[in-house]
Amino acid sequence: MGDRFRTIVDLDATAEDAEALAERALAWLVAEGIVLAEQTHCVFGQPVRPPGPHWARTAAPEDSDGNPSDGLAVTTGRTVFHGGQDQAEWADCPGCGGRTLFGPGGEEQDDPWADDALSHGDGDAADAGDEEWQLFSAAVGAWHATGEGYVECRHCAVDVPVTDWIWQPGCFALGHLGLEFWNWPEFRPEFVAELGRQLGGHRTVVVWGKL
Ligand SMILES: [Zn+2]
Protein backbone atom coordinates (compact mmCIF):
# COMPACT_ATOMS: atom_id res chain seq x y z
CA MET A 1 0.00 0.00 0.00
CA GLY A 2 2.47 2.65 1.13
CA ASP A 3 1.80 6.22 2.14
CA ARG A 4 0.68 8.68 -0.49
CA PHE A 5 1.57 12.34 -0.44
CA ARG A 6 0.41 15.34 -2.40
CA THR A 7 2.51 18.43 -1.87
CA ILE A 8 1.46 21.92 -2.91
CA VAL A 9 4.67 23.87 -3.47
CA ASP A 10 4.77 27.66 -3.52
CA LEU A 11 7.18 28.47 -6.36
CA ASP A 12 7.45 32.14 -5.43
CA ALA A 13 8.09 31.89 -1.69
CA THR A 14 11.59 33.02 -0.74
CA ALA A 15 13.87 31.89 2.06
CA GLU A 16 12.90 35.10 3.86
CA ASP A 17 9.11 34.95 3.62
CA ALA A 18 8.46 31.18 3.64
CA GLU A 19 7.76 30.99 7.39
CA ALA A 20 5.30 33.88 7.34
CA LEU A 21 3.58 32.43 4.28
CA ALA A 22 3.35 29.03 5.95
CA GLU A 23 1.62 30.63 8.92
CA ARG A 24 -0.76 32.50 6.66
CA ALA A 25 -1.65 29.35 4.71
CA LEU A 26 -2.14 27.34 7.90
CA ALA A 27 -4.38 29.99 9.43
CA TRP A 28 -6.55 29.90 6.33
CA LEU A 29 -6.67 26.08 6.18
CA VAL A 30 -7.65 25.91 9.86
CA ALA A 31 -10.26 28.69 9.49
CA GLU A 32 -11.79 26.84 6.54
CA GLY A 33 -11.97 23.62 8.55
CA ILE A 34 -9.71 21.79 6.11
CA VAL A 35 -7.20 20.80 8.81
CA LEU A 36 -7.28 21.01 12.58
CA ALA A 37 -5.01 23.46 14.38
CA GLU A 38 -3.40 20.89 16.63
CA GLN A 39 -0.59 18.60 15.49
CA THR A 40 -1.55 15.17 16.72
CA HIS A 41 0.87 12.62 15.33
CA CYS A 42 3.80 12.17 12.99
CA VAL A 43 4.30 10.76 9.52
CA PHE A 44 7.92 9.91 8.76
CA GLY A 45 9.00 12.03 11.71
CA GLN A 46 7.05 15.09 10.61
CA PRO A 47 4.22 16.35 12.82
CA VAL A 48 0.93 16.51 10.95
CA ARG A 49 -2.35 18.29 11.47
CA PRO A 50 -5.31 15.95 10.92
CA PRO A 51 -8.17 16.61 8.49
CA GLY A 52 -10.79 19.11 9.64
CA PRO A 53 -14.57 18.86 9.26
CA HIS A 54 -14.49 20.41 5.77
CA TRP A 55 -11.56 18.49 4.26
CA ALA A 56 -13.85 17.37 1.42
CA ARG A 57 -13.72 20.91 -0.02
CA THR A 58 -10.21 20.10 -1.18
CA ALA A 59 -11.03 16.83 -2.90
CA ALA A 60 -11.74 16.16 -6.54
CA PRO A 61 -15.22 14.58 -6.68
CA GLU A 62 -14.07 11.71 -8.88
CA ASP A 63 -11.21 10.69 -6.62
CA SER A 64 -11.47 7.15 -5.37
CA ASP A 65 -8.82 7.37 -2.67
CA GLY A 66 -11.52 8.05 -0.12
CA ASN A 67 -11.18 9.80 3.20
CA PRO A 68 -7.90 11.35 4.20
CA SER A 69 -6.28 9.35 6.97
CA ASP A 70 -3.28 11.43 7.99
CA GLY A 71 -2.95 15.12 7.46
CA LEU A 72 -0.85 18.15 6.69
CA ALA A 73 2.86 18.59 7.30
CA VAL A 74 4.53 21.89 6.44
CA THR A 75 8.07 22.15 5.10
CA THR A 76 9.95 25.42 4.86
CA GLY A 77 13.48 26.10 3.70
CA ARG A 78 15.24 25.37 0.42
CA THR A 79 13.88 21.98 -0.62
CA VAL A 80 13.81 19.71 -3.65
CA PHE A 81 10.27 18.37 -3.57
CA HIS A 82 10.13 15.21 -5.60
CA GLY A 83 7.40 12.80 -6.51
CA GLY A 84 7.47 9.05 -6.51
CA GLN A 85 9.57 8.56 -9.61
CA ASP A 86 13.34 8.77 -9.68
CA GLN A 87 13.30 11.24 -12.52
CA ALA A 88 10.98 13.25 -14.73
CA GLU A 89 10.48 12.30 -18.37
CA TRP A 90 10.76 15.87 -19.59
CA ALA A 91 11.10 19.53 -18.73
CA ASP A 92 9.98 22.52 -20.80
CA CYS A 93 11.96 25.73 -21.25
CA PRO A 94 9.96 28.66 -19.84
CA GLY A 95 11.44 30.96 -22.49
CA CYS A 96 11.04 29.18 -25.81
CA GLY A 97 8.76 26.31 -24.79
CA GLY A 98 11.24 23.75 -26.14
CA ARG A 99 11.05 20.37 -24.47
CA THR A 100 14.03 18.45 -23.19
CA LEU A 101 13.39 14.72 -22.96
CA PHE A 102 15.20 12.53 -20.47
CA GLY A 103 16.28 8.96 -20.96
CA PRO A 104 16.12 6.12 -21.21
CA GLY A 105 14.33 6.48 -24.49
CA GLY A 106 14.49 10.24 -24.15
CA GLU A 107 16.11 10.97 -27.48
CA GLU A 108 14.44 12.90 -30.26
CA GLN A 109 14.89 12.27 -33.96
CA ASP A 110 16.74 15.53 -34.48
CA ASP A 111 18.51 15.47 -31.17
CA PRO A 112 22.14 16.55 -31.52
CA TRP A 113 22.93 14.77 -28.27
CA ALA A 114 21.69 11.53 -29.84
CA ASP A 115 24.08 11.99 -32.77
CA ASP A 116 26.84 12.63 -30.30
CA ALA A 117 26.04 9.47 -28.41
CA LEU A 118 25.93 7.44 -31.61
CA SER A 119 29.24 8.87 -32.80
CA HIS A 120 30.83 7.45 -29.70
CA GLY A 121 29.86 4.09 -31.00
CA ASP A 122 27.86 2.69 -28.10
CA GLY A 123 24.85 2.65 -30.36
CA ASP A 124 22.51 3.44 -27.53
CA ALA A 125 20.67 6.64 -28.29
CA ALA A 126 19.04 6.54 -24.86
CA ASP A 127 22.36 7.79 -23.50
CA ALA A 128 21.42 11.19 -24.89
CA GLY A 129 18.47 11.53 -22.57
CA ASP A 130 20.53 10.25 -19.70
CA GLU A 131 23.16 12.87 -20.41
CA GLU A 132 20.52 15.60 -20.39
CA TRP A 133 19.27 14.27 -17.08
CA GLN A 134 22.77 14.47 -15.62
CA LEU A 135 22.90 18.18 -16.51
CA PHE A 136 19.56 18.86 -14.84
CA SER A 137 20.42 16.68 -11.88
CA ALA A 138 23.68 18.58 -11.35
CA ALA A 139 21.85 21.92 -11.57
CA VAL A 140 19.24 20.77 -9.04
CA GLY A 141 22.07 19.70 -6.73
CA ALA A 142 23.80 23.07 -7.15
CA TRP A 143 20.56 24.90 -6.36
CA HIS A 144 20.02 22.78 -3.28
CA ALA A 145 23.55 23.49 -2.07
CA THR A 146 23.87 27.17 -2.99
CA GLY A 147 20.46 28.52 -4.07
CA GLU A 148 21.61 28.83 -7.68
CA GLY A 149 21.66 26.39 -10.56
CA TYR A 150 21.28 26.76 -14.31
CA VAL A 151 20.72 24.55 -17.32
CA GLU A 152 21.31 25.85 -20.83
CA CYS A 153 18.28 25.22 -23.02
CA ARG A 154 19.45 23.31 -26.06
CA HIS A 155 16.66 24.86 -28.14
CA CYS A 156 17.26 28.57 -27.45
CA ALA A 157 20.72 28.40 -25.82
CA VAL A 158 19.61 30.52 -22.87
CA ASP A 159 20.96 29.71 -19.41
CA VAL A 160 17.69 29.04 -17.58
CA PRO A 161 17.55 28.96 -13.76
CA VAL A 162 16.69 25.41 -12.75
CA THR A 163 13.82 26.76 -10.65
CA ASP A 164 12.12 28.14 -13.78
CA TRP A 165 11.97 24.95 -15.86
CA ILE A 166 8.46 23.54 -16.20
CA TRP A 167 8.62 19.91 -15.17
CA GLN A 168 6.40 17.04 -16.17
CA PRO A 169 3.46 17.35 -13.73
CA GLY A 170 3.86 15.75 -10.34
CA CYS A 171 7.57 14.99 -10.53
CA PHE A 172 9.57 17.90 -9.20
CA ALA A 173 9.40 21.32 -7.67
CA LEU A 174 12.14 23.46 -6.21
CA GLY A 175 11.00 25.87 -3.56
CA HIS A 176 11.01 27.16 0.01
CA LEU A 177 7.49 26.22 1.09
CA GLY A 178 5.64 22.94 0.66
CA LEU A 179 2.31 21.91 2.14
CA GLU A 180 2.44 18.12 2.27
CA PHE A 181 -0.89 16.38 2.53
CA TRP A 182 -0.39 12.75 3.57
CA ASN A 183 -2.83 10.04 2.55
CA TRP A 184 -5.18 12.66 1.21
CA PRO A 185 -7.49 12.45 -1.82
CA GLU A 186 -6.67 14.12 -5.11
CA PHE A 187 -7.10 17.90 -5.00
CA ARG A 188 -9.84 19.85 -6.67
CA PRO A 189 -8.08 22.38 -8.96
CA GLU A 190 -10.15 25.20 -7.44
CA PHE A 191 -8.68 24.41 -4.02
CA VAL A 192 -5.10 24.64 -5.30
CA ALA A 193 -5.93 27.92 -7.06
CA GLU A 194 -7.53 29.40 -3.93
CA LEU A 195 -4.53 28.40 -1.83
CA GLY A 196 -2.32 30.19 -4.35
CA ARG A 197 -4.44 33.33 -3.88
CA GLN A 198 -4.11 33.01 -0.11
CA LEU A 199 -0.34 32.90 -0.62
CA GLY A 200 -0.46 36.29 -2.29
CA GLY A 201 -1.15 35.14 -5.84
CA HIS A 202 1.93 32.96 -5.91
CA ARG A 203 2.46 30.26 -8.51
CA THR A 204 1.94 26.79 -7.12
CA VAL A 205 2.58 23.31 -8.39
CA VAL A 206 1.49 19.94 -7.02
CA VAL A 207 3.98 17.10 -6.60
CA TRP A 208 2.70 13.66 -5.69
CA GLY A 209 3.90 10.18 -5.04
CA LYS A 210 3.97 7.24 -2.68
CA LEU A 211 6.49 6.11 -0.11
ZN1 LIG B 1 14.60 27.55 -24.51
Summarize pLDDT for 179-191 with one digit per residue, the tens. Answer: 999 999 999 999 9
Domain count, the chain: 2
Higher pLDDT, 144 or 45: 144
Residues 8 and 78 in one domain: yes
Residues 144 and 201 in one domain: no
Tallying the residues shown for the chain, one arrives at 211
CA distances from 197 to 54, 91, 141 (A): 19, 26, 30
Tell me what percent of the residues of the chain surpass a pLDDT of 70. 86
Residues 129 and 155 in one domain: yes
State in Å: Cα 161 to ligand 1 middle: 11
Residues 77 and 9 in one domain: yes
Q: What residues contact residue 37 under an 8 Å CB cut-off, 6+ apart?
A: 30, 49
Any idea what the CATH number is for the domain that residue 184 is in?
3.30.310
Question: What was the pLDDT predicted at 105?
Answer: 53
Residue 141: which domain range?
90-167
Residues 15 and 68 in one domain: yes
Residues 49 and 96 in one domain: no
Residues 178 and 139 in one domain: no
State in Å: Cα 164 to ligand 1 middle: 11
Summarize pLDDT for 60-108 with one digit per residue, the tens. Answer: 877 656 788 899 999 999 999 988 766 789 999 999 999 999 876 544 4
State in Å: Cα 99 to ligand 1 middle: 8
- For residue 35, how many C-alpha atoms fall within 13 Å in the half-sphere facing its CB? 24
Residues 74 and 175 in one domain: yes
State in Å: Cα 162 to ligand 1 middle: 12
Residues 76 and 175 in one domain: yes
Residues 194 and 148 in one domain: no
Instruction: Tell me the CA end-to-end span of the chain in Å, nearest whole number.
Output: 9
Residues 102 and 156 in one domain: yes
State in Å: Cα 20 to ligand 1 middle: 34
State in Å: Cα 189 to ligand 1 middle: 28
Question: What was the pLDDT predicted at 65?
Answer: 60
State in Å: Cα 83 to ligand 1 middle: 24
State in Å: Cα 77 to ligand 1 middle: 28
Summarize pLDDT for 96-140 with one digit per residue, the tens. Answer: 999 999 876 544 434 444 444 444 444 455 567 788 999 999 999
Residues 182 and 161 in one domain: no
Question: What was the pLDDT predicted at 107?
Answer: 46
